[in-house]
Amino acid sequence: MATLPSVINAASNPLALAADWPGNFWLHLLVFTLVIIGFVFTTVVIFIWFERRLVGRFQIRLGPNRAGPFGLLQPVADVLKLLTKEGNTPKNGDKLLFWLAPMVAFTPVLLVFAVIPFWEGATLVDLDIGVVYIIAISSLSSIGIFMAGWASNNKYSLIGAMRDVGQLVSYEIPLVLSIAGVVLFSGSLSVGGVVAAQDIPFILLQPLAFAIYFMAGLAEINRCPFDMVEADSELISGYNIEFSGMKFAMLMLTEYSEAILLSVLVTTFFLGGWRGPWLPPVVWFIIKVVGVFFLIDWVRFTLMRLRIDQVMAFAWKFLLPLALINLVITGIEVVLLPDISPWLLMVINLAVMVFLILTWARMFKPGGKKVEA
């Protein structure tokens, strides 16, 4: 889609970095590894504070406000508390897996950040198959969650872990299919290429894919209303029920870094990544990430949890057909109408989305009839 006019800014950015920015390949690797680790850890800490203040506002109360100004030190206090706690291992659990699980869960999340551009050129490595890499790696952390549930030797954990695997298998398909639409439009599997193609953010050109990706992503990272894995009111805390101390902290870290990862991926694939007028690219990037994170929290604090069969039915009966239709329509648009005005395309795709979602919502009612497992 080379004909798209640039509505955000030109792709050639004065702040763009060279591929091996500080001048040396190994130095580049070192610097960006530190940047990614720093980014993930600091954003997790800040977002935990942000979420807790936010939920206070949602629930007409104040939220944490004792530790430091505006309760800013609350995450620090939480981490210190967890550090001093005893790490308990269940007696009849699988000790090796129990020890390994938090790391197996957390590492893939960190790995995905390797291909995310924070601004042009500011990425650890811009793989040519970056999108495939993201899809492949990001689902690996479910193995860690399943390990955690299995190794705890606890029935609640096991139910949570089994739900997680089932959910992952179901939601991976619409997730991938919705990204396929984005890839078709950008004509590139590299994450940098996807961002570079977004002269108009793909949320406007691919609204349906955005909706599907966001919902499937929520299910992937086990956030409300698809938080079957944790399900406070049923499974108490699901897979992490037996964990304590730093192992628990690692699982919490996984959970929040996954939420941040979803925000980052939505930003990169649909909101134009680091691109935006006037402000420095990295500021735009962070603004968009915070915006998506706010959306995730908004859903979490408003909606109820679906039942496991409804969650599954939602993936297979609602998201999957829509994702397939979206892919076909996108393919037709890319192949047959390469020169169409993007503004017209926007209107068409928006109309298609509204029509499809309304039709499907009429046909598929989670509350209408009992869905058989």
Partner 1 sequence: MTLKTEPFVINLGPMHPSTHGVFRMRLTLDGEVVVDVEPVFGYLHRGLEKLAESRTYKQNFPYTDRLDYVSSMSNGMAYAMAVEKLAGIRVPERAEYIRVIMAELQRIASHLLAVGSFTNDLGTFFTPFMYMFREREKIVDLFEMVSGQRLLYNYMRFGGVSQDLPDEFLPALEKLVRTMPGYIDEYDQLLAENEVLLARSKGVGVLPRDMAINYSASGPVLRASGVEWDVRKADPYSIYDRFEFKIPTAQNGDCYDRYRVRIAEMRQSLRIIEQAMQQMPAGEIINKVPLRLRPPAGEAYARIESTKGELGFYLVSDGSDKPYRFHVRAPSLINLTALRQMVIGCKLADVIAVFGSIDICMGEVDR
Residue ranges in contact with partner 1 by CB under 8 A: 55, 58-61, 155-156, 159, 224-225, 227, 231-234, 236, 300-310, 365-367, 370, 373
Complex with partner 1: residue 58 or 294, whichever CB lies closer? 58
User: What's the sign of the alpha-carbon dihedral 173, 175, 176, 179?
Assistant: positive
Complex with partner 1: residue 223 or 288, whichever CB lies closer? 223
Contact (Cβ atoms closer than 8 angstroms) between residue 217 and residue 265: yes
Complex with partner 1: residue 61 or 91, whichever CB lies closer? 61
Residue type, 258: E
Cβ–Cβ contacts within 10 Å for residue 56, how many?
15
Residue 51 CB, shortest distance to partner 1, in Å, is 10
CA-wise closest residue to 305 among 223, 185, 201, 224 = 224
Residue 234 CB, shortest distance to partner 1, in Å, is 5
3-class DSSP state for residue 18?
A: coil
Residue 337 CB, shortest distance to partner 1, in Å, is 35
Q: What share of the chain is helix, strand, coil (3-state, %, to 5)?
A: 65, 0, 35
Residue 272 CB, shortest distance to partner 1, in Å, is 31
Residue 189 CB, shortest distance to partner 1, in Å, is 36
Task: Report how far residue 144's alpha carbon sits from residue 98's, in angstroms, rounded to the nearest whole number.
Answer: 9
Complex with partner 1: residue 85 or 307, whichever CB lies closer? 307
Residue type, 110: L
Complex with partner 1: residue 55 or 290, whichever CB lies closer? 55
Residue 318 CB, shortest distance to partner 1, in Å, is 12
Task: Report how far residue 336's alpha carbon sits from residue 3's, in angstroms, rounded to the nearest whole number.
Answer: 15
Complex with partner 1: residue 81 or 365, whichever CB lies closer? 365
Task: Report how far residue 217's alpha carbon sits from residue 19's, in angstroms, rounded to the nearest whole number.
Answer: 30
